[in-house]
Chains A and B, each alone.
Chain A
Amino acid sequence: MLEVQQISGGYSSESVLKDISFHVAKGELFGILGPNGSGKTTLLKMISGLLPFKEGSIFIKDKKLSQYSQKELAKIVAVLPQHSEHAFSYTVKETVSLGRYAHQSGFLQMWTETDEKIVQEVMKQTGVDVLQNKNLGQLSGGERQRVNLAQALAQEPEILLLDEPTNHLDLSYQKELLDILKTWTRDGMLTVISIFHDLNLAGLYCDRLLLLEKGMINIQNKTNEVLKEDRIQDVYQTDIKKFAHPRVPAPQITLLPKWEKEEVEAVNITADMLQHRKHHIVLRSPIPLKTMSSGVVGSGLGWNQTFVNRHVDKGYSCSNHREEMMNYLREKGFDPLETVGMMTAVVLDDVSYKWMEHGGLSIFVVVTAGVGNAVDATHSESHSSEFIPGTINTWIFINAKITEEAFIQGMVTATEAKVRALEDQKVIDSVTGTYATGTSTDSILIAATQRGEQHDFAGTITALGKLISKAVYWCTRESIQKSQKRK
């Protein structure tokens, strides 16, 4: 569809763009990225025929750009500019109708039925048909941008060029516009080449990206390859962090604020912060902790400050236990948005906790264990699966900065230690008669202060892993012993 071959040139004698080559296939949504002054707009202006280039060539549908007349080009390529002037109050329909300019011929340039049909059609597609008799001045920024889009579409283009189309648009309009473009490109009706300021929008919607740096191509590739942490960090000269979009397979990037790096006092989570109430055990941290957990509330990855382990009756049953737990937390004065909440049927007096330190690294582990539902994981198909309040709840607080890998390794290490503790206490799966590896509803929480020394790993023989396995083994065993003694 579009072939750019080694073009160089720019506004002044000094070249803004150097040796740019790329191609865009039919039906692609192709994004152009780059910091301010990297030549994005210049490149787009060259493709749209507005700006001449010194070297190289551009082919549109296998024909040289310079061989197109302005009118011929406008029938294939339409441009949605970043912002538009409107000196006079044209109506929406008059504005959109201008898009038909290139298709009208002859001295009289008669308005045909086809013209009218297409104008009505694109106004409907962009949702501005209800505004068609309004003046441009009466419209909001979002509406005006949709009118501009309708005008560009009235050209019946095969290629649509956009310069930061979502600039000045509200969140909902940004999404709306890009959703429309995505649908059209996917249907093969349109090829879209767009400059993006917002890397995340580009990551969400584009098929491929071109990253410009100081007038040269840094890379052109699939979004995931272009939006690499160190590359973006390098080109944009700022601290960023890449993460996965929670719902769709698209790379996302977030800024790291300067205060993230500021020296902060290390915080030590200790037994002093643990409170034992009648119906729950709570630990209140002075700062939000990064957590990974399988609690009823606040599960998954997040930042939380309060940790609640609530006792419920063995017969607890509720159709929406999550909602019920949230209400419980609110009632007790905890904010469910920054709380990890777990449930247990175990008597809370059986709680066991331990603070351990080695070589400057310290952790605090809290375990409540009962073995009523003990299960051998290797024979678990013998058990029914319904929600029963958790029986072995393990909390691990780490007074250090750890990576996401360390979170996962920490969980594996903790689980291995728990399995050994159960075995050593001779806990048997009552259904299969084999050693139990846990109970059917165990929950785990790993929370890290993310201050102080950095620990990348938490496997069993790392410094952190050694502490975790030791503390978890010790606490689980003690808690089971207490619970066994009660019987």
Chain B
Amino acid sequence: MRKQFTLKYLAKNKILAYTLATIFTILSLLLGISIGTVSVPIVDIVQIIGAEIFHYSIDHIDPMYQSIVLNIRLPRVILAGLVGAALAIAGAAFQGLLRNPLADPYTLGVSSGASVGAVVTIFFGISLPYIGAFTLPFLSVVFAFITIFLVLTFARKIDRSMRVETIILTGVIFSSFLGAFISLMISLTGNELKQIIGWLLGSVSMRGWDYIKIILPFFVLGSVLLMANGRELNAMSFGEDRAQYLGVDVKKRKLVILTAGSILTGAAVAVSGTIGFVGLVIPHLTRSLWGPDHTHLLPLSMLTGSGFLILTDLIARTIISPTELPIGVITALIGAPAFAVILIKRRVQKGG
């Protein structure tokens, strides 16, 4: 009873929600930069970043600290944060659109699609004119979009009402198929093997500022598009027919949301490989804390997702230091049981 009261109170207080989520993200960011083989005090981190932004010089701090923070840890946590944010907001949008708390870029096969795009780029050494370095993320996005489109068409063919289970199953089938495709390319590959494997394992380490430059435009575009469709997502979570009755241009909005979701997923996969379950767990957690209203769910998921992935990355590189675990391992270890819990909860609700 008391718990319910607290939750209701929290759900109403949106300012508190944003404050807490922001504090969580900033705290994760600072911890992520601070902890490692060399510990950097948080006060120093703030000074180093402040000096860099406002262009004043600091002499009393060890230049090695400056180098570690600015060249190694800062880009790493920012990249982790962006990837986490991208996956979480995309997951929240997919879940709203498909009225399905089990949907996320990973279970829908979108991540696998994006991987195929990336692997194809590396395997054939493709470099498209004009976009150059952006070829890999661009093709990832394109493949992600094609995959989500195929998955949904296929699911609709099997079952007109597009039940949750049908979509998930279709996503899993596509993931397996695309996985096999990637394996095929790996076994045929010669020189690029190491590059592909390293990329596939999924990591945000040693990527540097270049990768942030790659993901940032996609991230901004995708998030802005999704957040502009918060109310439409609310309407569509009552069913597409219902949304249309309410005045939503469903066909157009659905296409925008699917495109934006694919852009975010594709870009995230392009810079960090496949990292599963972030898009599943974070929106679910955010929804149960602050309510399902997408106008708030999307930005809150974004903040929480970025903080979450920064912390996960911190665990991945410190838990058996000096060896680094792939970040995807940690998210899967947390995510898979969470997936199971959500599934059981849904069954219980339906049965009761």
Contacts and interface: CB of A to CB of B under 8 A. Distances in A.
Interface of A: 48-50, 69-71, 73-75, 77-79, 81, 84-91, 94-95, 98-99, 101-102, 104, 107, 109, 133, 137, 151-152, 155
B245 A81 contact: yes
Interface string B230-246: 01001101110110111
A50 B242 contact: no
A400 B228 CA distance: 77
27 contacts: A49-B244, A69-B249, A74-B247, A81-B239, A81-B241, A81-B245, A84-B239, A85-B238, A85-B242, A87-B100, A87-B101, A87-B237, A88-B96, A90-B237, A90-B292, A90-B293, A94-B234, A94-B291, A95-B238, A99-B246, A102-B246, A102-B247, A104-B231, A133-B8, A151-B246, A155-B246, A155-B247
Nearest to B164: A87
Contact of A70 (B242, B247, B287, B292): B247
B349 interface: yes
A77 B245 CA distance: 8
Contacts of B349: 137
Contact of B234 (A77, A78, A98, A104): A98
Contacts of B216: none
A101 B247 contact: yes
Interface string B218-236: 0000000000100100110
B338 interface: no
A41 to B, nearest CB: 11
Contacts of A155: 246-247
Contacts of A77: 245
Contacts of B250: 70
B8 A70 contact: no
A102 B244 CA distance: 10
B334 interface: no
B99 A79 contact: no
A420 B112 CA distance: 101
A86 B246 contact: no
Contact of A88 (B101, B235, B247): B101
B196 to A, nearest CB: 38
A71 B292 CA distance: 24
B248 interface: yes
Contacts of A102: 246-247
A180 B242 CA distance: 22
A133 B9 CA distance: 11
A151 B250 CA distance: 18
Nearest to B249: A70
Contact of B244 (A70, A84, A90, A109): A70
A86 B247 contact: no
Contacts of B239: 81, 84-85
Given A84-B238, A90-B293, A109 B246 contact: no
Interface string B274-294: 000000000000010001110
Nearest to A86: B238
Contacts of A81: 239, 241-242, 245
A152 to B, nearest CB: 8
Contacts of A137: 349
Contacts of A84: 238-239, 242
Contacts of A88: 96, 99, 101, 237, 287, 292
Interface in B147-176: none
A86 B346 CA distance: 12
Contacts of A101: 231, 235, 246-248
Nearest to A89: B292
B238 A75 contact: no
Interface centre among B101, B238, B250, B349 (most CB of A within 10 A): B238
Nearest to A74: B247
Contacts of B101: 87-88
A101 to B, nearest CB: 5
Contacts of B247: 70-71, 73-75, 101-102, 155
Contacts of A50: 241, 244-245
Contacts of B291: 89-91, 94
Nearest to B287: A88
Contact of B245 (A69, A74, A95, A109): A74
B23 to A, nearest CB: 26
A81 B101 CA distance: 23
A152 B235 CA distance: 12
Contacts of A48: 244-245
- 5 nearest A-B pairs in the assembled complex, by CB-CB distance: A74-B247, A102-B247, A88-B292, A87-B99, A79-B245
A70 B238 contact: no
A75 B250 CA distance: 16
Contacts of B245: 48, 50, 74, 77-79, 81, 152
A74 B235 CA distance: 13
B99 A85 contact: yes
Contacts of B100: 87
A94 B293 contact: yes
A107 B295 CA distance: 13
Given A85-B239, A87-B237, 17 more contacts: A69-B249, A71-B249, A75-B247, A78-B245, A84-B239, A85-B99, A86-B237, A87-B100, A88-B99, A88-B101, A88-B237, A88-B292, A90-B293, A94-B234, A94-B291, A133-B8, A152-B245
Nearest to A94: B293
Contacts of A75: 247
Interface centre among A75, A91, A98 (most CB of B within 10 A): A98
Contacts of A73: 247
A323 B349 CA distance: 52
B248 A70 contact: yes
A77 B247 CA distance: 10
A109 B248 CA distance: 13
Contacts of A87: 99-101, 237
Contacts of A89: 291-292
